[in-house]
Chains A and B, each alone.
Chain A
């Protein structure tokens, strides 16, 4: 009976994360998911955790676009604006208050900053009646405005307290991530490997920042899965599919878009915070056209209607970009984007899911074989 009730509890937990708006609504998916997370946990023993931590930080940026574009239908080139605002805010606050309390506050303010700028832009766009491609154009222009503005903040007059914005050269000496309250509880999340002595194992190498990023990414992914499969997530998708019709079901479409855009901004801000603290540096390149295009490429390749696709494609494309290096990397990315838009507009993950379903469907059609039993277990 104990196992039955555990199964029931697991099943009811699963229903929160499953629904028509995500791929992977089966027991097999969750087993694979746990294996993948376990793989991330042991990865530092085999590979470069420092590099992977960067890709995972950027995956949060990819997720922010997946939610805004893939689920609410708002194609934003401006996620890097909120990313950069988050990173710069974190830098300014943490340089001025370089204690765990101050740095923790800087994390919060960076996230809030990204969300706030998104809320402001979103309010004027959505309540001003801006729709479709014009949102894309406005957000693209906003990256250029930020790039131009931050690049000219070189002089000594462009300093906030001890933090000099540094113009085109960027803002160096941003503190590493630390969380906690001064003199009560503090946790240094350093990127460089540190030695910990554990009983039995002896000395282990432990990159706390990497594990923090893994934890944040996994919880964000699960949180967003729960969101897009909730009542609200269904309304988001309805807005994406047909705004006028969703309005006729009594939903305030402008507010839905504003809320999702703000959430996306906060998520991009969080990504920027972790980016700045990982690199202990940020410069206006984060507002540049190349970087602004990357999230669109990640999400297009992975499949914009798939949260999983955003994460997988961000890591894969960034790995490719780092491996190829130089101008050729950009050429390859450009070709990749074209290929996907022309040949596989839905992206990799939904395509793969479609193949899998067709395969299972064919099998079920074979006479004599039982059709798919419902895998769904409802909590009653």
Chain B
């Protein structure tokens, strides 16, 4: 394995140990040697990935790097072949997806699949109704519509929204769960520049005002630069580089893997 592992490993072990014993740390999410194999293909290879509380982290990497797989492992949509996942002080590896949501993990899928026949308000009601009733429910629904930037569109059928507005609605619905960690899979794919600005504003505002930690999969480096504190580069199922966007962008090894070169970690 690469030299990176030797450097990061002790920190990971310490985080995992503290999370497992319930000690307070600022680490919200920590994966420990996470492996996912599909037949002979290894989509996640001993991934040690950490997210701090309130942090805005972007996940980049070429196609097939294992970005979506990693998020699905965290939400429980996929079961890992090996390794553990720690969240907020406990081991959640064996929890069902809905139990992880109850602990504060939420995710927006790549393709928006809002309930097209329902109005914006009816859409938002679905995540909210599980834990809020009466006036509290109404208040949270309005707040979520606000957070999605869709005030004035409450009674519009979701099918009548533009693609960008549907993405906003999706983010609003995921945020309506009041999560501590929100995973977004390509929230601005196929959007115009103005729409991208809108989404970036939503994300940064939710991060600052609600203190939600984000993991955002995104290819567009301009967008990543606008929102991210930290960037993790995945390559061939492994964590390839971690650091601020400027350092990552200027890293020749990262440039090489995006151009399709070999890009071994020792570069």
Taking Cβ atoms with an 8 Å cutoff, the residues of A that contact B are 20, 231, 234-235, 237-238, 241-242, 244-253
Contact = CB atoms under 8 A, between A and B. Distances in A.
B107 interface: yes
Given A234-B125, A241-B115, A253 B98 contact: yes
Given A237-B115, A249-B130, A250-B98, 6 more contacts: A234-B122, A234-B129, A249-B101, A249-B173, A250-B101, A250-B127
29 contacts: A20-B118, A20-B119, A20-B122, A234-B122, A234-B126, A235-B126, A238-B115, A241-B113, A241-B115, A242-B113, A244-B109, A245-B109, A247-B97, A247-B98, A247-B101, A248-B101, A248-B106, A248-B174, A249-B126, A249-B130, A249-B177, A250-B98, A250-B101, A250-B127, A250-B131, A250-B177, A251-B98, A251-B130, A252-B98
B104 to A, nearest CB: 10
Contacts of A251: 98, 130
Among A235, A242, A247, residue most surrounded by chain B Cβ atoms (within 10 Å): A247
Contacts of B113: 241-242, 245
A279 B201 CA distance: 67
B29 to A, nearest CB: 16
A167 B264 CA distance: 72
A242 B109 CA distance: 11
B102 interface: yes
A241 B113 CA distance: 9
* Interface size band for B: 20 to 34
A234 B127 CA distance: 10
Interface in B74-119: 75, 77, 96-98, 101-102, 106-107, 109, 113, 115, 117-119
Contact of B107 (A238, A241, A246, A248): A248
B126 A238 contact: yes
A252 B99 CA distance: 8
Contact of A231 (B96, B129, B174): B129
Given A238-B115, A242-B113, A245-B109, A250 B130 contact: yes
A90 B118 CA distance: 42
Contacts of B115: 237-238, 241
A245 B102 CA distance: 14
A248 B75 contact: yes
B173 A247 contact: no
Nearest to A241: B115
A237 B125 CA distance: 13
Contact of B102 (A231, A250, A253): A250
Nearest to A251: B98
Nearest first, the 6 A-B pairs at minimum CB distance are A250-B101, A249-B127, A247-B97, A252-B98, A231-B129, A242-B113
Contacts of B106: 248
Nearest to B103: A250
Interface in B108-148: 109, 113, 115, 117-119, 122, 125-127, 129-131
Contacts of A244: 77, 109
Nearest to A231: B129
Contacts of B119: 20
A249 B119 CA distance: 17
Nearest to A254: B96
Interface in B238-259: none
A238 B122 CA distance: 11
Nearest to A242: B113
A68 to B, nearest CB: 19
A20 B155 CA distance: 12
Contacts of A253: 98
Nearest to B96: A252
